Amino acid sequence: MVNIGVRTGLPQSILLCARIIFFRQFRETKMISRIFAATVFAALLSVGNASLAETYSGQVAGVGEVDVELISSGTPTFPRRAKSYGVSGAVVVRFSVDAEGNAISPVIVESKPRRMFDRSAMRYMETLKFKPVEVDGKAAEVKDVLMTVAYVLEG
């Protein structure tokens, strides 16, 4: 199974831990059924965090640090070469969010393994759409936003 996701901040850490616990450990040890694991996972998502928005921190000139909310995204593709080698990895990307909410000027900050997932991560950045940040009633550009795009090969 191929699992591709974006990880950042506390909410994503919680989701990742819940996913690992209920889908990997229990499924592999056959302690509970997949259906029950999926039900428990869905319940975890809804308990107390009905509106978990994926947010990222960035900088607005003259204001300082602000959070931008991701409202839509595509799915990163798992490179065939990485899949055939059985390799998982992650790419950290720095980018800006323009006044319309588009991710612009992406730059790879870190990639492990080097260059294996870079092209896929850059294509994924083109699919991101954020809620525009308003400063004094006008949409502003947010700079220095960091995102980790994780590629996990399971099974």
Q: Are 37 and 51 in contact (CB under 8 A)?
A: no
Q: What is the pLDDT of residue 66?
A: 95
pLDDT tens-place string over residues 74-100? 999 999 999 999 999 999 999 999 999
DSSP for 39-93, written as a single string: HHHHHHHHSS-TT---EEEEEETTTEEEEEEEEE---PPPPHHHHHHT--EEEEE
Contacts of 122 (CB under 8 A, 6+ apart): 93, 106, 108
In this prediction, residue 79 carries a pLDDT of 96
**Whether 108 contacts 41, CB under 8 Å:** no
pTM across the whole model = 0.67
What mean pLDDT do residues 121-131 have?
A: 97
Show the tokens assigned to 90: 């992650």
pLDDT in tens, 38-80: 444 554 444 444 445 799 999 999 899 999 999 999 999 999 9
- Pick 14 or 118 by higher pLDDT: 118
Q: Which domains does the chain have, with CATH numbers?
A: 2-7+54-153 (3.30.2420.10)
Nearest to 105 by CA among 93, 121, 119: 93
- Predicted confidence (pLDDT) at residue 133 exceeds the cutoff of 90: yes
Which among 143, 144, 13, 152 has a CA at the least distance from the CA of 91? 152
Q: How confident is the model at residue 29 (pLDDT cuts 50, 70, 90)?
A: very low
Band of pLDDT at residue 154, cut at 50, 70 and 90: confident
Is the model's pLDDT at 25 over the cut of 60? Answer: no
Q: What's the CA dihedral at 101, 107, 109, 111 to 10 degrees?
A: 100
